[in-house]
Chain A
Amino acid sequence: MRSLPQAKPNGETTKVNRGKSRTRLWFLAHSWLAMPIWVFLFFVCVTGTIATVDKEIMWLIDPTVRAVHEDGAQRKPINAIVEDIRRQIPGAAIDSIAFGEPYMALRVRFYAPDIASGVAWVNPYSGEVQRVAQGLNFSDFVVALHGWLLMPWFGGTAIGWYAVTALGFPMLGSAITGMVVYKRFWRAYTQPRLRLSQGARVFWGDLHRLAGAWTLWFVILIAITGLWFMVRGIMYDLHMPLGVEPPDIPRREAPLRVGGDPLPVLDLDGALAAARQISPGATPNYLALPEHALGTITVYSRSAFPLLMEGVWVHPYSGDVVATRDASIARPVEVISSVNASLHYGNFGGLWVKLIWTFFGILLSTMVASGTVIWLKRTAQAARKAEQQNETLVAEAAE
């Protein structure tokens, strides 16, 4: 227990006391940044943590989204998969195919006469449509809950988007004030301390400081990337373009066709091959079919430098590459957004990176919870005591 700074009768304070009162201010700031919003912050941290492995949770609970196959089986070509889907869902017009992680079934968005926006989960080895779904799935739901509290988007950025992204400020503030009030916090890296047997207050205090030191990089990363999402929300509200429109081909390059001739068939494997040729180190993860007869095939890939994404647009009839978009030609805002999203989601390096993000997400949620517990146990009790003794509340400085 530290002695509390005492004001001298004439109102002056000693040098030591001034240092202490500054510490107290930092400590109060640290408490007040997150305390009044702790439920909301905790909710966003927990849903964000779940969102880091949203697809993996689906994989666990729903066998129809898995890419189950025999050992040594080969993935089918996409052209054959498209044939399979059309055979299994009559009248389906395919909008896009997302590849996801290797263990996930292909997520195929499609339209059908009675389905406005359907999703088919297709086994990439057998071409079997394992499930047809409509509306939100678990992943969409968690992302919407985390990202904008399910609030509607009516012509502008949802209010929930701003509410969530604004949490970047108190998070960043908590990280900075935490570094100040937790003196020599780097000792937690070399001499971690978590006392289990000295009561709840000591345990929660140790846990908060230990997790705080180890998650520092993650808190700052999530806060800053979160704030960039706010910038994007503002840009959207200001009608600033956030990406590029897929290019169209000239009208004269569409094939002429007379009644009875078969419709032109798109070579999606050819488009993927063209994209791979443009950028051999990149990994295609999304393929969009042309939105109309003069539209191009879109291939999005994760770049060789995995925080970046790149796009290739392929002529639907000739198979030539019509346009490309990568970090060397994209506007800075696109490049930043690409890196930003990868860092925020932790989806740039397969399952292990995702699990690291999940782990630190759990720690981050623990920070909010333990901070609240400490505040309730220590500061609130101190306040009650101070009130009872009819004295000024003086918060105890952090160790």
Chain B
Amino acid sequence: MSAVLSRAGRLWRGSCFHLSALILVLPLVAFPQYFKERAAPPLGAHILPARQVGPFTVTLAEYMAGPPRTGDYGRQFKDFTLRIHDGYPDRIRTAYLRVGKPPNLRTLGDIAHGDPNRLHGEVRIMEPPRADDSLWLTLEEWDGTLHHAAWPLGEVMTNANLIP
């Protein structure tokens, strides 16, 4: 028994200083996930049915389920992805996303940006979101024509603990 223990003790003393090699297991474990993340992703975790906005068909997706994330200065944001099936950027100049109906032309919302095939909208959440609030999408054509659509937040924010 004591011989086994002393052999274990020797083994430990002989190898304990190489144990930091174990941290290299982390990249090995992360490896597949990392590449999965980079592969062409679906629009988002929660893809809503396509719908008609004026003459255009759009698909909106909640990028990740859950409550808003915290961004710079502690501001709250919710990420959405938008696919405009035909017409961006040929016919549509800008797509805006906003919680609540836009009160005027200067506050249409956050501009969806980036990949034209899957536009990314970072929607600023100003106050605790309520289930009966709406996410408003405004499409503006190059000639200035506007088209609106709205979704109840309860439909586009899942697992987000919305105020009923």
Contact = CB atoms under 8 A, between A and B. Distances in A.
Interface stretch (A144-152, A220-228, A327-335, A347-355): A144-152
Given A150-B30, A150-B31, A116 B24 contact: no
Interface stretch (A20-28, A176-184, A200-208, A249-257): A249-257
Given A263-B89, A291-B113, A291-B114, A115 B20 contact: no
Contacts of A261: 142
B73 A40 contact: no
Given A116-B118, A160-B27, A257-B143, A292 B111 contact: yes
Contacts of A255: 142
B11 interface: no
A62 interface: no
A15 to B, nearest CB: 34
Interface string A341-366: 00000000000000000000000000
A135 B117 contact: no
A93 B30 contact: no
Nearest to B115: A111
A323 interface: no
A36 B20 contact: yes
B72 to A, nearest CB: 4
B94 A136 contact: no
B142 A258 contact: yes
Interface residues of B, number: 48
Given A39-B24, A263-B90, A293-B93, A152 B112 contact: no
A239 B74 contact: yes
Contact of A39 (B20, B111, B113): B20
Interface of B: 13, 16-21, 23-24, 26-27, 30-31, 33-35, 37-41, 69-75, 89-91, 93-94, 105-106, 108, 111-119, 142-144
Contacts of B21: 39-40
B20 A149 contact: no
B38 A155 contact: no
Contact of A294 (B24, B30, B33, B111): B111
A248 interface: yes
Closest 9 CB pairs between A and B?
A: A291-B113, A257-B142, A111-B115, A39-B21, A40-B20, A241-B72, A150-B27, A292-B113, A116-B40
Most chain A beta carbons < 10 A, residue from B23, B41, B144: B23
Given A111-B114, A117-B38, A43 B24 contact: yes
Nearest to A36: B17
A143 to B, nearest CB: 13
A256 B115 CA distance: 22
17 contacts: A37-B20, A38-B18, A39-B23, A111-B116, A113-B117, A116-B115, A135-B35, A149-B27, A149-B30, A152-B33, A159-B26, A239-B70, A240-B72, A241-B72, A254-B93, A259-B91, A261-B142
A35 interface: yes
A295 interface: yes
B115 A35 contact: no
Given A239-B74, A292-B113, A256 B142 contact: yes
Nearest to B113: A291
A251 B144 CA distance: 10
B140 to A, nearest CB: 8
A291 B112 CA distance: 9
Interface string A126-154: 00000000111000000011000111100
A239 B73 CA distance: 6
Nearest to A372: B17
A386 interface: no
Contacts of B93: 254, 257, 293
A179 to B, nearest CB: 24
Contacts of B27: 145, 149-151, 160
